[in-house]
Amino acid sequence: MTLKLTNVAKTFPDGTRALMPVDLDIKQGEIVSLLGPSGCGKTTLLRIIAGLETTDAGGKIRFDDEDVTSLSVVQRKVGMVFQSYALFPNMSVRRNIGYGLKMQKLPKSEIDARVDEVIALCRLEPYADRPINALSGGQRQRVALARAFAPRPRILLLDEPLSALDAALRGQLRDELAVLLRTFGITAIFVTHDQTEAMAIADRVAVMSHGQVAQIGTPEALYRAPASPFVARFVGDAMPLKGRMGSGALHLDGGTLPLEGGAEGGSAYVRAEDVRLDEDGPLRGRIEAVTFLGTHYRVVLSGVTPEPVVALHVGASAPKLGQTVGLSIAPGAILSFAHETESA
Amino acid sequence: MSSRTFVPLCFLPLAIFTIAFLALPLVRLILASGEGEAGWAIYLEILQKPRYLSTLIQTVVISVAVTIAALAISTTAGLFLVRNRFRGRGTLLSILTLPLAFPGVVVGFMIILLGGRQGLINQITPGHVVFAYSAFGLFLGYLYFSIPRVLLTVMAAAEKIDPALEEAALTLGASPYRIVRDVLLPALMPAMIAAGAIAFATAMGAFGTAFTLATNIDVLPMVIYTEFTLSANIAMASALSVILGLVTWAMLLIARSFAGGVVAAGG
Amino acid sequence: MLKSPAKILQLAVTLLACAFLLVPTLQSVLAGVTVNYFQGVKSGLTLKWIGEVWTLYSASIFLSIWLALCCLISTLIIGVPAAYALARNPGRLSRILEEFISLPLAIPGLALALALLQVYGSVQGFRAHWSFILVGHVLYTLPFMVRSVLSVMAAIDLKTLEEGAASLGAPAWRRFTDIAVPNAMPGVLAGSLTVVTLSIGEFNLTWMLHTPFLKTLPVGLADSYASMRLEIASAYTLVFFVMIVPLLMAMQWASARAQRTLT
């Protein structure tokens, strides 16, 4: 199914504007992530697509060629995975998964066959007849996914599907989820505040901030060519290089960097992995803290910009604390923006 | 049917029942109180006629006495049962909550068995000791059904007190007496106010116990009953009911603002 | 355990309170099966009094059971949907409504009965019918049902569960029957046991509403206390205890269980 949003916005009864008018096109089978900090409107947008919230007047939601704007969630035939999973505690795994099919009034044999199929697909066979409260977090997540998928929804909507899990499990299930969603071959939108999650699962990521879509693109495009300082910071944790930008050069407390392009009054960002400890580098900084992270050292440096700068250092031994060292940044690694503002 | 129509529909049985059997009768009761010879001045009359005023005062005095006694006994017992685990604790707790389901008439009978003419006390003491039909008997009856209600409220609150508070006071050198005074009682205060209000309201409105003991002590519910059945003074019975209802309702509002739960009134 | 005089005093108060509550209960049990209470147990034990209670009062016992069951059904029909609607609209208006239906907890039964009598006392077919007493019982027990169910419904994340069901295509009434009610079962059970226990023991309203041909168990108790010999009154009380104590224990167990689902 393709999804087309035009001019979808949300103003709550108390006057807060949770969502500025948004346009969005999603292709058949595409997996799109809505990524942003809490309060950016991503969940509201998802809930409007599901039919759990209504769009402000003027908004249009189309599933393929059908205008579903005025349809309620009951009629919209979407599959939804909730942040808390919303599994029915009074039903077994099997009955949870079959509930949507039962609502479609399918014959029992057909429901059973379909439930078995989805249970196998999600590798839930050993748990099929267990009550929900006997399941682990990861199993619940799979049941929630299976339940949403079983009635063959037109689109799958996932609201922070991994956030209820502990960190160790989250990484493993993230990869599982990416595989499952592609096995399903279904159009899917999932909301997350975790950039790694978004990049691992989605074909395209829509970065949201303050009720607006700041940028939408493939993970690579967002990472390599962020459209705004906000996207640069949110995707890949870029650090601001606060200083004076002139044509062809960036003047910092710790030295001057050559710059491709760049303009008076603009801003520059860099990621820690692009900052190198390099005795011949154009910048100088003092080592304030060193953390050993196995594959590399995380080095915090002062004196480069007003705020500390972080460099990732690969080497056999730890850089010495308190030492003043040289730094270099490849000109291509600097993300420069014409305007100074932080937000989108 | 969407939930916008279904959810209000869920209120429908309640609305019909409540309007017909609660709202309407209450309005009628209030109106009836003003339909006597005295009109609305009947409320003034209650305060002026010694018979009604003394009834009001007696009811309040007995209820206050019961409230204080029940608070003292139930808080002592409740704290003891929360702080100590021992064999038989469960049994004691069951005994102390048993009268919760006793109607007032049964409680009255219990007092007759204790202090009536054939009562235990009269049998085991020399001389003629019969107190069931006196003000003291009424007091004991009210105490009988108040102890469990106060106990449950106080124990629920005592169980929620963080034991670390007491331990902190201990490490700061507080004596057991100071711990009770400075830590436990302040923490229990809201529950005690709530429980006290419930006990007071229940005692004010208790009818069954007074009815069974058939005392010569005029308490408000008995006077309402006799005004209605014997004197057929419907306006006075209604007016006294309105006053009684307002007092007990106000008391339970206080109770609720200090502690969420509800313990069944009646007795 | 008894380290200090304070502890001993606390224990003494607790035991005294227990004795105060338990001794007359045991007396009545004993008196109910003693041949002659005035002479004491040495006069022998007998079930004669229980038998007399049965011939005199079995109708009132059955009426009470019948009323309790009807009361349960009524409070379920009225109270469970109402609790659900209150849980779905947790606003100021709901608080006021909840407060209003809780009035029968606060207003003494006598006053409520007076109010009911003044509106419906002259409706002959209704006044003399058992359903008139039933109305009083439902009025008094309904708040317990509503609150018990509401507290569980407010504790489970009903809104999200319902959104889940709605996204699977369940219409509003199915969300009520499939999701809301089954998950509020601990509250429904605790509420039901409370309703039955209170209905069987209700006296204050019933005394005013009953007619000579419609005596409930507690009305019969009052009657026996006033006009029967102590042994029969005791035996009747014993019968009442046998009915009410298991109910009370079940009610306390169910309430504790419902409380656990809240945490």
CA distances from C126 to A260, B15, B17, B107 (A): 94, 20, 15, 31
Give the pLDDT confidence score for residue A343 in this predicted structure: 44
The CATH number assigned to the domain holding C51 equals 1.10.3720.10
Let me know whether B58 and B19 are in one domain: no
> Is there a contact between C107 and B17 if contact means CB atoms under 8 Å apart?
no
Q: Find the mean pLDDT for residues C155-167.
A: 94
d(CA B72, nearest CA chain C) in Å:
9
CA distances from B238 to A35, B41, B46, B250, C259 (A): 66, 13, 12, 18, 39
Q: Find the mean pLDDT for residues C199-222.
A: 93
Q: The domain containing residue B61 runs over which residues? A: 41-258
Let me know whether B49 and B14 are in one domain: no
Give the pLDDT confidence score for residue A333 in this predicted structure: 87
Q: Which residue of A has its CA nearest to C160?
A: A86
Q: Does a structural domain hold residue C131?
A: yes
State the DSSP string of B129-191.
---TTSHHHHHHHHHHHHHHHHHHHHHHHHHHS-HHHHHHHHHTT--HHHHIIIIIHHHHHHH
Is the per-residue pLDDT at B267 higher than 60?
Answer: no
Give the pLDDT confidence score for residue C3 in this predicted structure: 65
Is the per-residue pLDDT at C181 higher than 60?
Answer: yes
The CATH number assigned to the domain holding B153 equals 1.10.3720.10
Q: Which residue of A has its CA nearest to C178?
A: A90
> Is there a contact between B101 and C248 if contact means CB atoms under 8 Å apart?
yes
- CA B143 – CA B257 distance, rounded (Å): 24
Structure tokens belonging to residue C239: 């019968």
What percentage of residues in chain B have a pLDDT greater than 90? Answer: 45
Task: Band the pLDDT of A212: cuts 50, 70, 90.
Answer: very high
Span A18-38, pLDDT tens digits = 999 999 999 999 999 999 999
Let me know whether B46 and B169 are in one domain: yes
Q: Find the mean pLDDT for residues A262-276.
A: 85
> Is there a contact between C24 and B110 if contact means CB atoms under 8 Å apart?
yes
What percentage of residues in chain A have a pLDDT greater than 90? Answer: 72
B19 touching C, CB under 8 A?
Answer: no
d(CA A89, nearest CA chain C) in Å:
7
CA distances from A28 to A43, A155, B242, C97 (A): 21, 9, 70, 50
Let me know whether B74 and B2 are in one domain: no
Q: Please tell me whether the overall predicted TM-score, pTM, comes out greater than 0.90 for this model.
A: no
Give the pLDDT confidence score for residue B263 in this predicted structure: 47
Q: Find the mean pLDDT for residues B15-21.
A: 95
Structure tokens belonging to residue C99: 């407060």
List chains touching C (3+ CB pairs under 8 A).
Answer: A, B
**Entry field: residues in chain A:** 344
Q: Does a structural domain hold residue C16?
A: no
Strand partners, A88: none
Q: The domain containing residue C233 runs over which residues? A: 27-262
Interhelix angle C217-227/C185-201, nearest 10 degrees:
30
Mean pLDDT is highest, among A156-160, A293-297, B232-236, for: A156-160
Is the per-residue pLDDT at B71 higher than 50?
Answer: yes
Q: Does a structural domain hold residue C8?
A: no
Q: What is the DSSP letter of C42?
A: G
Q: What is the DSSP letter of C178?
A: I
Let me know whether B28 and B45 are in one domain: no
State the DSSP string of A11-48.
E-TTS-EEEEEEEEEE-TT-EEEEE--TTSSHHHHHHH
Neighbours of C136 (CB within 10 A): 27
Span A78-129, pLDDT tens digits = 999 999 999 999 999 999 999 999 999 999 999 999 999 999 999 999 999 9
Q: What is the DSSP letter of A211?
A: T
* Sign of the four-CA dihedral A272, A277, A282, A283: positive
Q: Report chain A residues whose CB lies below 8 A from the CB of C161.
A: 86, 88
Homologous superfamily (CATH) of A3-234 is: P-loop containing nucleotide triphosphate hydrolases (3.40.50.300)
Q: Does a structural domain hold residue B106?
A: yes
Task: Band the pLDDT of C2: cuts 50, 70, 90.
Answer: low
A100 touching C, CB under 8 A?
Answer: yes
Neighbours of B95 (CB within 10 A): 19
Let me know whether B63 and B145 are in one domain: yes
| Number of compact structural domains in chain B | 2
Give the pLDDT confidence score for residue C144 in this predicted structure: 94
> Is there a contact between C17 and B96 if contact means CB atoms under 8 Å apart?
yes
Let me know whether B29 and B53 are in one domain: no
Give the pLDDT confidence score for residue A101 in this predicted structure: 96
Let me know whether B70 and B26 are in one domain: no
Q: What is the DSSP letter of A56?
A: P
Option in C23, C115, C237 nearest B28 (CB): C115
Option in C135, C237, C247 nearest B109 (CB): C237
Q: Find the mean pLDDT for residues A292-317.
A: 90
Which of A134-143, A187-196, A280-289, B114-123 is predicted least confidently?
A: B114-123
Report which of B71, B120, B77 is spatially closest to residue B95, judged by C-alpha positions.
B77
> Is there a contact between B110 and C240 if contact means CB atoms under 8 Å apart?
no
Chain mean pLDDT for chain A: 91
Q: Which residue of A has its CA nearest to C163?
A: A52
Option in B2, B100, B201 nearest C248 (CB): B100
Is the per-residue pLDDT at B264 higher than 70?
Answer: no
In sequence order, the 6+-apart residues with CB closer than 8 A to the CB of B95 are C18, C21, C22
Give the pLDDT confidence score for residue C177 in this predicted structure: 95
Q: Does a structural domain hold residue B19?
A: yes
Q: How many CB contacts within 8 angstroms connect chain B with chain C?
A: 261
In sequence order, the 6+-apart residues with CB closer than 8 A to the CB of A309 are A239, A241, A270, A275, A285, A300, A301, A302, A327
Q: Which residue of B has its CA nearest to C108?
A: B205
Span A1-20, pLDDT tens digits = 899 999 999 999 999 999 99
B104 touching C, CB under 8 A?
Answer: yes
Asked whether B59 and B220 are in contact (CB, 8 A), the reply is yes
d(CA C58, nearest CA chain B) in Å:
18
Option in A78, A87, A104 nearest C167 (CB): A78
Is the per-residue pLDDT at B258 higher than 80?
Answer: no
Asked whether C149 and C80 are in contact (CB, 8 A), the reply is yes
Report which of A122, A110, A186, A181 is spatially closest to residue A154, judged by C-alpha positions.
A186
Q: Report chain A residues whose CB lies below 8 A from the CB of C164.
A: 80, 82, 86-88, 147
Homologous superfamily (CATH) of A239-337 is: Nucleic acid-binding proteins (2.40.50.140)
Q: Report chain C residues whose CB lies below 8 A from the CB of A147.
A: 164, 168
Option in B76, B105, B252 nearest C105 (CB): B252
Is the per-residue pLDDT at B259 higher than 70?
Answer: no
Is the per-residue pLDDT at B231 higher than 70?
Answer: yes
| Angle, CA of B64, B66 and B70, to the nearest 5° | 120
> Is there a contact between A79 and C167 if contact means CB atoms under 8 Å apart?
yes
> Is there a contact between A89 and C183 if contact means CB atoms under 8 Å apart?
yes
**CA torsion, points B244, B246, B251, B254, in degrees to nearest 10?**
180
**CA torsion, points A147, A150, A151, A152, in degrees to nearest 10?**
130
Q: Does a structural domain hold residue B265?
A: no
Strand partners, C34: C45
Let me know whether B28 and B51 are in one domain: no
Let me know whether B53 and B123 are in one domain: yes
Task: Band the pLDDT of B266: cuts 50, 70, 90.
Answer: very low
Q: Report chain C residues whose CB lies below 8 A from the CB of A84.
A: 157, 160
Q: Please give the distance of CA C203 from its chain centroid, rounded to a whole number.
A: 11
Task: Band the pLDDT of A143: cuts 50, 70, 90.
Answer: very high
Give the pLDDT confidence score for residue B262 in this predicted structure: 45
Q: Find the mean pLDDT for residues C4-17.
A: 89
What percentage of residues in chain A have a pLDDT greater than 70? Answer: 97
Option in C14, C27, C173 nearest B77 (CB): C14
Q: Find the mean pLDDT for residues B247-261.
A: 79
Q: Please give the distance of CA C222 from its chain centroid, rounded to a whole number.
A: 18
Q: Which residue of C has its CA nearest to B93?
A: C18
Q: Find the mean pLDDT for residues B100-117.
A: 91
Give the pLDDT confidence score for residue B143 in this predicted structure: 96
| Number of compact structural domains in chain C | 1
- CA C163 – CA A80 distance, rounded (Å): 9
A106 touching C, CB under 8 A?
Answer: no
Q: Does a structural domain hold residue C227?
A: yes
- CA A309 – CA A303 distance, rounded (Å): 8
List chains touching B (3+ CB pairs under 8 A).
Answer: C
In sequence order, the 6+-apart residues with CB closer than 8 A to the CB of C85 are B7, B8, B10, B11, B14
Chain mean pLDDT for chain C: 91
Instruction: Write out residues 203-232 of B within 8 Å (CB-CB) of C.
Output: 204-208, 211-212, 214, 221, 224-225, 228
> Is there a contact between A73 and C171 if contact means CB atoms under 8 Å apart?
no
